[in-house]
A and B are shown apart, each in its own frame.
Chain A
Amino acid sequence: MPPAVRFVNVSRHFGPIRAVDGVTLDIAEGEFFAMLGPSGSGKTTCLRLVAGFEQPDQGHIEIFGETAEGVPPYKRNVNTVFQDYALFPHMTVAENIAYGLKIKGVGKAEREYKARVALAMVKLAGFEDRRPVQLSGGQRQRVALARALINSPKVLLLDEPLGALDLKLREQMQEELKALQDELGITFIFVTHDQGEALSMADRVAVFNEGMIIQVGRPIEVYERPRSRFVADFVGSSNLLSPTVAADHGGKAAWTSLRPEKIGVLPPETPVKPTQAHIDGEIKMVGYHGSISRFSVEAEGIRLAAEVPAEDGAHFDEGDRVRLVWPKSAMVVLEDAE
């Protein structure tokens, strides 16, 4: 069976800017796939290439085995939830949702029925006759979702769909989107710059930088085994150890990533197990974040960040000498430390 979406060495240039630069990627049917990266990394352009708003300058794109180059957006069986929703202001909520059906020539009664069902699915029953301006951000987001899904797309594209929502609502929508995807079983491709969102929702994540895919994998792989300094830094945060420092403290003589939450903060002279590595230093800064405390420790001329549960961190203060301890297995050798 062909993949839902296939990119073969795809490039898209805007003048001198290589927005997408040689991307090769397969996205399987039914997958919840996240494209993660900073702004300008090419993730949104990739999404637009799938939607058909952009055409590749080089390479080849397939959607369910069919060549996508030259096929206009209105002939593709994919639908998009836009970043700012792009709801039509001159139509009611029901008319917005039924737009795709109306274009296809579906009769009025069936359109209205399906729009009601779709609205109920996104928990907005009774909002049929409102205008988009009368809705809150979260409600607009749901309407945009219903408007895309009513067309039964084979692939749903979501461009930073939660970006405009406040934190609580975002967390709630994350769960709902995930549940919806499980229920519908269609392929979701999701663009975000929020690594937490990508890790918590996606089956697989592609990390983008400067138009290229830096790493693809399951969230746990990308987080636990970053292959490059960029991924180690962008997905979560990371201490970067030089080959010398790494070799001196239980690792290999290579650039190494060490996650702050893997590091324990203990009193000086605490005995260390053979599977653990340690370094002694002085606390330069303490940040209290409610559930965790974040320490910045200067040790042997480098700065290390450590995150510990807040109650464990309560014994220490700025200026204290401490011993930082971590399992040697938490040290991840980076293939690319540029």
Chain B
Amino acid sequence: MSQTVTAEGDGAFERLSDLFVARPKLLTFLLLLPPLLWIGIVYVGSLFALLLQSFYSLDDFSGLVVHEFTLSTYAQLFEEANLQIILRTVLMASFVTITCAIIAFPIAYYAARYARGWTKALFYLAVMMPLWSSYLVKIYAWKLILAKEGIITWLAQALHLTWPLNEILALPVIGGPSLSFSYIGTYLVFVYVWLPYMILPTQAALERVPVNYIEAAADLGADPRQTFWTVIFPLALPGIIAGSIFTFSLTLGDYIVPTIVGNSRLMIGQAVYTLQGTAGNIPLAAAFTVVPMVIMGFYLWIAKRMGAFDVL
């Protein structure tokens, strides 16, 4: 018998791996199939179903959903009360995002540039640890901190600083009977819970800025401030944008934080929750859900236009 180069009858696994080596695209296809099915059917499919719902309407008399194509549900979004909800939520998300970006940057910069060894481990621990505990527990903890009988009021009394606290609470719109019943409280909790989502991408972006870009800028005459604005910040921007996508969209859609900490005025997430639950108005709830998607779409489009992703 003559010897052949191909080893025959080496078992199914052998033949399978030979097949994959010969046709690498087949392997890629097989590996991608499950996630594609998941994203395609479960994720995009349900989004599509949601979108479809938003083009139906609710019959005011029967309280039943009319399965006919209409834009009247979207028109309802532009009623005064609903516009207020949208505007309020977008403003809250914007302030939360800007605050997170400002607080996160120095932390991320320190972690990316200076932290080594155990300080780096400590950084990751400090940023990630709050994410390990339940979101609800954290929010209720904040409710206690911000409550009228809470630590902040107590501390203000101990330091004889009750008057500035009262001044703050007396501010129109954002103030309230106590921090835990005001927009300020909602804002503080949002900033707290989403901050890690801003720090981590910003840090990752800064980590990819080689030291010699900074040296090159200095070499070419840029002082530290100029180096920051012309080199470090533009290169960190994709990371900040990535972080802001998290903080912005998470705030846009959240309904638990404003329900527990805040006043009785609704945000988008709460509106969706109420509409699909007690009110049974699925079409309007769906239309409300589309709002954050449209806003995020615009946001990314503008960020792209401004060149935020040029480095990628």
* A90 on the B face (CB < 8 A): yes
**Chain B interface, DSSP helix/strand/loop, else mixed:** helix
Residue of B nearest to A92 (CB): B310
A86 with B210: CB separation less than 8 A: yes
State in angstroms the CA–CA spacing of A99 and B210 once bound together: 18
Number of A positions contacting B (CB below 8 A):
23
Q: Identify which of residues 45-86 in chain A touch chain B, using a CB-to-CB cut-off of 8 Å.
A: 51-53, 72-74, 78-80, 82, 84, 86
* A43 on the B face (CB < 8 A): no
B219 with A80: CB separation less than 8 A: yes
* A151 on the B face (CB < 8 A): yes
* B216 on the A face (CB < 8 A): yes
Residue of A nearest to B231 (CB): A88
For A73, the chain B residues whose CB sits under 8 A away are: 215, 218-219
State in angstroms the CA–CA spacing of A82 and B210 once bound together: 12
* A217 on the B face (CB < 8 A): no
A88 with B226: CB separation less than 8 A: no
State in angstroms the CA–CA spacing of A120 and B216 once bound together: 22
| Residue picked from B216, B217, B220, B234, most chain A C-beta under 10 Å | B220
Of the residues B219, B223, B226, B235, contact of A51 by C-beta under 8 Å: B219
For B17, the chain A residues whose CB sits under 8 A away are: none
A90 with B216: CB separation less than 8 A: no
Question: Digit string of B179-222 for contact with A (CB within 8 Å is 1, else 0)?
Answer: 00000000000000000000000000000001011011111111
Chain A's nearest CB lies how many Å from the CB of B269?
36
* A271 on the B face (CB < 8 A): no
Residue of A nearest to B212 (CB): A86
* A30 on the B face (CB < 8 A): no
Question: Digit string of B208-248 for contact with A (CB within 8 Å is 1, else 0)?
Answer: 00101101111111110010001100110000000000000
Chain A's nearest CB lies how many Å from the CB of B241?
13
For B226, the chain A residues whose CB sits under 8 A away are: 103
Q: Identify which of residues 290-312 in chain B touch chain A, using a CB-to-CB cut-off of 8 Å.
A: 307, 310-311
Closest 4 CB pairs of A and B: A100-B220, A86-B216, A73-B218, A86-B212
29 pairs of residues in contact across A and B, judged by CB atoms under 8 Å: A51-B215, A51-B219, A53-B215, A72-B218, A73-B215, A74-B218, A74-B220, A74-B221, A74-B222, A74-B223, A78-B219, A79-B220, A82-B212, A82-B215, A86-B212, A86-B216, A88-B216, A89-B235, A89-B311, A90-B234, A90-B311, A99-B217, A99-B220, A99-B230, A100-B220, A102-B230, A148-B220, A151-B220, A151-B221
Chain A residues with a Cβ under 8 A of chain B? 51-53, 72-74, 78-80, 82, 84, 86, 88-90, 99-100, 102-104, 147-148, 151
Known contacts A86-B210, A88-B231, A90-B310; decide if A103 and B222 are in contact (CB<8 Å).
yes
Chain B's nearest CB lies how many Å from the CB of A74?
5
Chain B's nearest CB lies how many Å from the CB of A108?
15
For B213, the chain A residues whose CB sits under 8 A away are: 86, 88
State in angstroms the CA–CA spacing of A79 and B220 once bound together: 7
For B307, the chain A residues whose CB sits under 8 A away are: 90
20 extra interface residue pairs, beta carbon distance < 8 Å, beyond A82-B212, A86-B210, A90-B310: A51-B219, A52-B218, A52-B219, A53-B219, A72-B223, A73-B215, A73-B218, A74-B218, A74-B221, A74-B222, A78-B219, A79-B220, A80-B219, A86-B216, A88-B216, A90-B235, A99-B220, A99-B222, A103-B222, A147-B220
